[in-house]
Amino acid sequence: MLFTEAAKTGIAFILAATLLGGGFANPARAQGLEGLLNGALQYFALDNLSDTQEAAYGRRIHEQLVRQGKVRLSRDRRLVARVTNMGRRLARTSGRPQLPYRFFVVNDRSVNAFTTMGGYVYVNAGLAKGVRSDAELAGVMAHEIGHLVARHAINQMRQAAVTQGIAGALGQNDNLLVSLGVSLYQRGYSRDDEYEADALGVRNLARAGYPANGLPDFLRRLQGGGGSAEFLSTHPASANRVQRLEEIIRTEGLPMRRR
């Protein structure tokens, strides 16, 4: 459960008092109070998950993705070690270093990467093998970690729950929240989310000691037709993304690798 019973009681009292004060004390309308309360609880709960709670949900989503065959994990030990070591280095300098990150290589030839809540970062083998430098791979991973720092997956789940009208049901059944996370695992983020993850990522690259231009170099190559469109299908493409990144690098004096 996401809230203690004491917290639920307190919120219930406040919400009930508000509704009753507004003239909703008749039995017919009171029947909807519990559903409204549960929806409100879940809405706020997703905003206030502790790192431990978020990681627990992330683990359950990961287990479902693997069990359902949506994600097939690579057994290439050298590639997995490369991605894991790079991810841990970036995690230490990220905006949420306390999150228990987990890094995986997906046995998929397409060029793509994605995250789920709780610190779970996935890089397709096609991307990990197709980058031209460590800086490019680190740039992609720093971008994905940026989504986790900004809690974009949690925000996306909350919005989807409200849109689908299941926020109240989520408050009663944690399994629904996990199922929602599974259904959204490769859903693209908004352009604003991508811009934010880009900015967080490129700054983290510099803090971790990687050339900051690794990320814009990778994006420029894909947008120029130098790679699979899969990454761009789940990460909204915009020429402005590269321009914004280069502006950040230039104005903040972030270290670059010479081309």
- Give the pLDDT confidence of 96-105 residue by residue, as tens digits: 999 999 999 9
pLDDT of residue 174: 78
| Per-residue pLDDT at 3 exceeds 70 | no
Active site (catalytic) residues: 144
As a whole number of angstroms, the distance between CA 170 and CA 213 comes to 41
* Pairing verdict, β 102-106 and 120-124: parallel
Amino acid at 157: M
As a whole number of angstroms, the distance between CA 18 and CA 40 comes to 13
CB of 257 closer than 8 Å to CB of 213: yes
Closest CA to 104 of 67, 126, 79, 129: 79
pLDDT tens digits along 102-137? 999 999 999 999 999 999 999 999 999 999 999 999
As a whole number of angstroms, the distance between CA 132 and CA 149 comes to 26
| Per-residue pLDDT at 5 exceeds 60 | no
Q: Say what the pTM is.
A: 0.80
| Per-residue pLDDT at 244 exceeds 60 | yes
Query: Mean of the pLDDT values across residues 190-197?
Result: 92
* Cα dihedral 60→61→63→65 (10° resolution): 170
As a whole number of angstroms, the distance between CA 17 and CA 74 comes to 54
Closest CA to 176 of 38, 5, 4: 38
**Token representation of residue 101:** 């990150």
Closest CA to 106 of 127, 131, 133: 127
| Per-residue pLDDT at 65 exceeds 50 | yes
User: Which residue, chain included where needed, has tokens 């280069």?
Assistant: 246
